Amino acid sequence: MSSSLSQHRSPTPISSQHLSPQPHSSYASSISSASISRPSSPASILLSSTTPIPSPPNSPISFHSKTTNSNSSPSVRSPPTTTGTSSKMNIVVSIGTQQSTNSTLTLPPSDFSANSPTLFSLETITSLLFHQPITRIVVVLTVLQSLLGLGGKFPEHCSAPSHILYGGEYLGLLISPFVVPLAPTLLKSAHQTFGIAVMLGISNLISFGLFEERLTTVFRGNRTRRSNASINRNSTRIFRNLILVIVVLVMGLRQLLGFIFNRSLGWAFPSLFFSDSVIECNLGLAPFLFALLVIQAFLPDDSDPWTSSPSSPSTSIFAFRRIYVQIILCLFNVIPKAISWWAGSGLIVGFVVSLGVAYQRRMGRWGGKVRITMYEKHSSYKDAAQEDDWQDQGALVGLGITDTQDFSMASMTNSNSKETSDDSDSDSDGRLSLESTATSSPVLSTTNFSTVPGYMKERTTSYIVRRLGGYVLPMIAILFFILVVTNQLHNYKPNVPDDVLNNAIEPTTPFLLTLVIMTAPRRDGMAFIKPTLSSYLAAFPDVDEPDHPLYSRIQVIVYTHVTNHPRFDEAEEFFETDPKARKHVKWIREDGAEKSQRKHLISAIRKIGTSEDSVYLGIMEDDFPFCEGGFQTMLNTIYEADRQVKDHCGVFITTGGSGLIFKRSVALTASFVLEQDELAKQRGMAVPAPDQALQNCMLGDHDYCSSCAGTMVISKTLLQGHLGHNASTSGGDYSPKDFQCGWRHPFHGDPHVRVL
């Protein structure tokens, strides 16, 4: 079969691609030939030879052979004539069966068929990991850093906003994307096993290679399938810069979210406090893959070599195959651990960056189309039937440009000269040249380009809106939903059964937990003992449950060292009539009149710590009742502390001097810290407040308690509310909204404490 053109110009060979009437990327690329030079204008062509053309595959758009004459009737669309040439232009396009050609037709190594059985073969994976320049660098850095971590050198723990905002570990943040946890300490911190960590690391590297292969192809533009070192380097440079921007934005946003939803809103708006926002383990490539996933979803699907669904519209979710695979690879990261904040940061950054990528491509840069996408072109045919087919479509086909190719006028050079360099296809920033070709092409010079920008703007805006509403935003919403659900599943911990708790922590010790409520006369005689003690007893076993595992292992002691304390007497008399109180509550009063909190604590700890054989000794204040469910959460925290931090010195569940639950031996040590402070105060030295001294001991900040360093366990939120905001024994007043149930724990986010 043959195709011929007659015109009064010197003969110039033309590639079969230029006459391809089929807008199908794989077909257009399969018949390209690097050995044939490209003319600057089809209007300047005189074909003296015939070129065999393979039969095109089926297309959703009909193309017919035409024989046209410039003097034909208006119903037959004629190509525009060019000044200075013959008024008659005869074009005969004959399409038939495929004939043999001398050129060898091959696809580039980066093109993978969706139905190929070797899609995930060892050869394909090796190509993805080592033939992509940026992926190759990431692989090398990941291997080196993971081996360094395996040797126990660096890092010693997961990166998290708590370590950045409070510990200043910025180097750990920078290397976190390249860390696959292999060392036991890292595996424990990341909540992974060795096998899962290795599989996730390999999966993420493969996914990264897929993204680089896809996006560099898009940034290079589908306008060329031949090897072009300049365009390849340019697309790789764009991808590299894109990754650097994503990394910086993700890391910055992750720290910002940790600060806002922890320290900032944890007290001002407790309902918006999220514990994981600052302590979630952040290692690996997951957020950057999620960001690239959103960016890829925003790009036109007609340039995706894996997309082959002619029956589905281009904006339909069913037209995506590559993205299905990459979504699954990304979601592998949520199976072993919670990464909702880490990956969520990537989704947000990906959406913002994708808008910037769309803008760059709309301006003709980064492999963008100068005219419109296939989707817009199909829509324009429906909405603008008056458009001239030869001007809008035929001229493009005549120039060798199909719907699936970028409108790369810069790839066409003068027919009388060869390509001078590879750089003629693209500027340094990927922008396609329009002006030079428009002036050198007689056919294009007749097209009214002055009307194109507004038309493009209207169509591009419509495409972006359709893309956002029809695919990108629903995909982001679904992924966010999956992240939230998996986060809840990973963080869900049922209440520890009472029998498990009883048998897990020194079952032979008579008492598991002794809570000491410290009370002294308040200003204006305000009473808080009754509501506070009632909140305790509500969680204790009833007297008719003698078989309850904790029936004889938990108790409350109300202690005062003031002889004249009317509120103490009233509360004791009130609870004498309560059977549960008679069973679980003891009342201890020591004579005295001095109102010294430090001496009060020393006396109580030493008296009760030496007389009661208990695993834990809790220091409580009489104006801090338990929140609803707070007592059970305290037991859960104690159980997890014993299970995960065996050498811990205690658990801190409230604030100030209340909720400090010491191991009994550590509590006795703390009494010597208080005694030393009291002696220093008598000598006129500045000493910390008593409650602060107890906190420092549990933190390991005092020489007497140095073995406790790094072992403090805290609850996520305050498990007790504050009643005495206007009756503090220290003389200060607080807002009634301060230190209430659900508030962020004051030590939350400190990298030296454990949140359980």
In the chain, the percentage of residues whose pLDDT exceeds 70 is: 65
pLDDT per position as a tens digit, 363-404: 778 876 544 444 444 444 444 444 333 333 333 333 333 333
Helix axes 664-682, 597-611, angle to 10 degrees: 150
| Of 182-186, 200-204, 253-257, 648-652, the least confident | 182-186
| DSSP, residue by residue, 223-256 | T--S--HHHHHHHHHHHHHHHHHHHHHHHHHHHH
Determine the pLDDT at residue 228. 63
For residues 85 and 538, which has the higher predicted lDDT (pLDDT)? 538
Report the alpha-carbon distance of residue 531 to residue 120 in Å, rounded.
Answer: 66
pLDDT per position as a tens digit, 652-666: 999 989 999 999 999
Those residues whose C-beta lies under 8 Å from the C-beta of residue 519, and which sit 6 or more positions away, are: 528, 529, 558, 559, 560, 565, 567, 568, 621, 622
Determine the pLDDT at residue 289. 96
When pLDDT is averaged across residues 281-307 and rounded to a whole number, the result is 78
| Structure token digits, residue 346 | 């990537």
| Of 510-519, 591-600, 633-642, 696-705, the least confident | 591-600
Determine the pLDDT at residue 501. 95
Query: Cα 353–356–357 angle (5° rounding)?
Result: 90
Omega prior to 155 cis, within 30 of 0: yes
pLDDT at position 669 over 60: yes
Determine the pLDDT at residue 150. 84
When pLDDT is averaged across residues 238-247 and rounded to a whole number, the result is 94
Determine the pLDDT at residue 683. 92
pLDDT at position 420 over 60: no
Report the alpha-carbon distance of residue 235 to residue 199 in Å, rounded.
Answer: 29
How high does pLDDT run on average in the chain? Answer: 74
Closest CA to 293 of 567, 494, 483: 483
pLDDT at position 500 over 60: yes
| Of 379-383, 440-444, 471-475, 551-555, the least confident | 440-444
Find the DSSP H helices in 224-339.
229-258, 265-268, 276-279, 286-298, 322-331
pLDDT at position 617 over 90: yes
**Residue 350 binned pLDDT confidence (cut-offs 50, 70, 90):** very high
pLDDT at position 275 over 60: yes
Report the alpha-carbon distance of residue 175 to residue 142 in Å, rounded.
Answer: 9
Report the alpha-carbon distance of residue 569 to residue 172 in Å, rounded.
Answer: 57
For residues 567 and 456, which has the higher predicted lDDT (pLDDT)? 567
pLDDT per position as a tens digit, 33-66: 444 444 444 434 333 444 444 454 454 444 444 4
Determine the pLDDT at residue 641. 95
> What is the DSSP secondary structure assignment for residue 46, as one 8-state letter?
B
Report the alpha-carbon distance of residue 410 to residue 396 in Å, rounded.
Answer: 14
Can you list the domains of the chain with their CATH numbers?
Answer: 3-106+372-405+407-416+423-447 (no CATH), 122-370+467-490 (no CATH), 498-755 (3.90.550.10)
Exposed/middle/buried for 195, CB within 10 Å: 0-12, 13-18, 19+? exposed
Report the alpha-carbon distance of residue 653 to residue 751 in Å, rounded.
Answer: 17
pLDDT at position 184 over 50: yes
Q: Find the helix or strand (DSSP H, E) in which 176 lies.
A: none
Which residues are registered as beta bridge partners of 662? 617, 650
When pLDDT is averaged across residues 614-636 and rounded to a whole number, the result is 95
pLDDT at position 539 over 80: yes
Report the alpha-carbon distance of residue 346 to residue 349 in Å, rounded.
Answer: 5
When pLDDT is averaged across residues 331-337 and rounded to a whole number, the result is 90
Exposed/middle/buried for 641, CB within 10 Å: 0-12, 13-18, 19+? buried
Report the alpha-carbon distance of residue 502 to residue 497 in Å, rounded.
Answer: 9
Determine the pLDDT at residue 244. 95
Determine the pLDDT at residue 730. 58
pLDDT per position as a tens digit, 214-233: 888 888 765 444 446 676 78
Report the alpha-carbon distance of residue 408 to residue 252 in Å, rounded.
Answer: 38
Determine the pLDDT at residue 446. 37
CB 705 within 8 A of CB 669: yes
Which residues are registered as beta bridge partners of 720? 626
CB atoms within 10 A of CB 346: 27
CB 671 within 8 A of CB 609: yes
Report the alpha-carbon distance of residue 290 to residue 472 in Å, rounded.
Answer: 12
Determine the pLDDT at residue 232. 75
CB 517 within 8 A of CB 532: yes
pLDDT per position as a tens digit, 151-174: 777 888 889 999 998 888 999 999
Q: Find the helix or strand (DSSP H, E) in which 668 lies.
A: helix 664-682
| DSSP, residue by residue, 704-749 | GGGGGTT--EE-SB-SB----TT--TTS----TTSS-TTPBPTTTT
Exposure class string for 26-53: b at 16+ Cβ within 10 A, else e? ebbbebbbeebbbbbbbbbbebeeebbb
